[in-house]
Structures are given as structure tokens and as C-alpha cells.
Amino acid sequence: MHEKMNGNDTIFWKKVNLSNWIEQKEQDVNRAFLFGDGLFETMVFQNGKIRFANLHLERLLTGCQVLGMNTEQLSPIEEIERALKLGFGEDKVLRVRWTIYRSGKGKYTPLTDEIEESLQIEDFHAAPLTKQSAFVHPEIYLSSSPWSSCKTLNALPYVIANRDRVKLGMEEVILLGQGSFVSEAGAANLFWVKSGVFYTPSLGTGCIEGIGRSVIIDLLKSKGIEIQEGYFRLDDMYEASSVFISNVTGISYLLTLEGKTLGQERFVMIEQLFEFDNIY
């Protein structure tokens, strides 16, 4: 059993011998490191379970298929849960990054489609309920591709966008896609509400198919609430009664965008999706 982690600690585990997870002090040089040739899932472990486990696995399997990676040796979610319970107990709430990358070295051309896996574990911190300031990045535009909706290791647009966000003293950054359509936030999907209708950018804008996004869309459809996925302009957000972002850690309402005050309507039923007692 690990001793209590400090808030900024990260423990790195790697899977070996197809069955055991071991703590690793240094990362190997691999195709994830060399080429970003892989995928990852950011997950929340609570009450001995991975929250939204089936959605994480479904997205990961889809991503592996798109990238042509063999999933026969992919760890079952239940195995990861058992390892985390053994290492940290059931009461610990953790943020877990599950990384899957193509095995072997090679150059751009892979030598195999087999996979390797690693886990990075740290204390969980919920998304803040509100973010005071947001801006639209003037230079970074997301593009659509067969893998743009997957959570790949090629994250440079988000890295640079968030670096610039910090330099500007902002709490959030909004990214546009091709054609200057609204796409997503720096590490989250976008939603807004007008006249009782929810809106979110289409995956065709280049945004990631987030787990939080999927959970929210499923909830709205189950309640008979209209949700439109499409290609929208910034003006649509300014006219909304509420603008919020979502990822697996929760939702955050945006209070201002480019210095303009946004609508402040809240949606408790959506907030509750990400509470710890929810076993969705």
C-alpha cells in the first residue's frame, strides 16, 4: 500500500509480463516518446471503480482501430481497478492516465502493431465550478482528421494554447477549427444553451470526443432535451444563457469571454453527473 501522496506527486507504473504493474522511476525511450504514436485516457478512480469505465474502454478501442494498433493484449478495466485497489485502497480518489502506445522502435514506419501500456496516478482534483476569464486563441486552429476525435499523444496544439493562456493570465482558452468554427476549449469540450436548447461543436470541427461530452449528450437525450451538434460561430456563444466546458473531471461555467460577460444559468442535473456518488 502506497503512503499518502503529496498533492503534486505523480507515480508512474508500467505493465510487464502481461500481468503485473510495477512502479517505474524512468520512462523508456519508445514510440510514444519518439513519435507520439499512441493514445491515452484520463480517468477518475473512486470507490474502487473507474468512473465511466465502459465509455473510456469504448473510446480507447475505437482509437486503437483508427491507429491500427492491436488490442488483443489490452488490459481489462477490471484488472486496472484491482491493481489500483491493491496499491491505494478503495477510499482513495485518483486521477489515472492510461497510456497505450505502439510497441517497438523503428523510424516513422512501425515495426509492429503490438502495444505497450502505462499508468500514471495522482491525486484527483475536481474541475472548478467557474472560470472567470477566457479568450479565443488567434493563431491555433484545429483540423479534422480520421483521428482528431481520438485522444492521441499528439497534443501540441493544446500544449501551446495552454502555455499562451498562462502567459496571458487567463483561466481558459477557446480553440477554433477550420473555417473559424468554434471547436473546443484547452482541455475540455464546449457547450452552451439558448432558449432551452443545448449546443456543442461537431466532431468535424476537430474537437476530441470527450467522455464528459458523451455523458452530457446521453443525459440530455434521455431527458428529451434538445441537443444540437454542429458548426457554430463565436457569436452563438455570446448570445447564450450559459456557456460551460466539460471533461471527465467535471464542468466549469465560463463567466467572461474576450472581456464580454456571458450568461450565468446553471444546470444542477449536469453538475451531478460528476459527483462522487454517481455510478453512471
pTM of the model: 0.89
For residue range 48-98, what is the model confidence (pLDDT) as tens digits?
999 999 999 999 999 999 999 999 989 999 999 999 999 999 999 999 999
- Whole-angstrom distance between the N-terminal and C-terminal Cα of the chain? 28
pLDDT at 104 over 70: yes
Q: Which CATH superfamily is domain 130-274 in?
A: D-amino Acid Aminotransferase, subunit A, domain 2 (3.20.10.10)
Q: Quote the pLDDT of residue 280.
A: 46
Task: Give mean pLDDT, residues 152-161.
Answer: 97
Q: Does domain 11-123 have CATH number 3.40.50.2000?
A: no
C-alpha angle with apex 63: 135 to 183, nearest 5 degrees? Answer: 20
Question: Given pLDDT bands bounded at 50, 70 and 90, which one contains residue 22?
Answer: confident
Mean pLDDT of the chain: 93
Sequence ranges of the domains in the chain: 11-123, 130-274
Residue 142 and residue 184 in contact, taking contact as beta carbons nearer than 8 Å: yes
Read off the pLDDT of residues 232-241 as tens digits, 9 standing for 90 and up. Answer: 999 999 999 9
Checking if the pLDDT of 4 tops 80, the result is: no
Which candidate, 126, 124, 105, places its Cα nearest to that of 114? Answer: 105
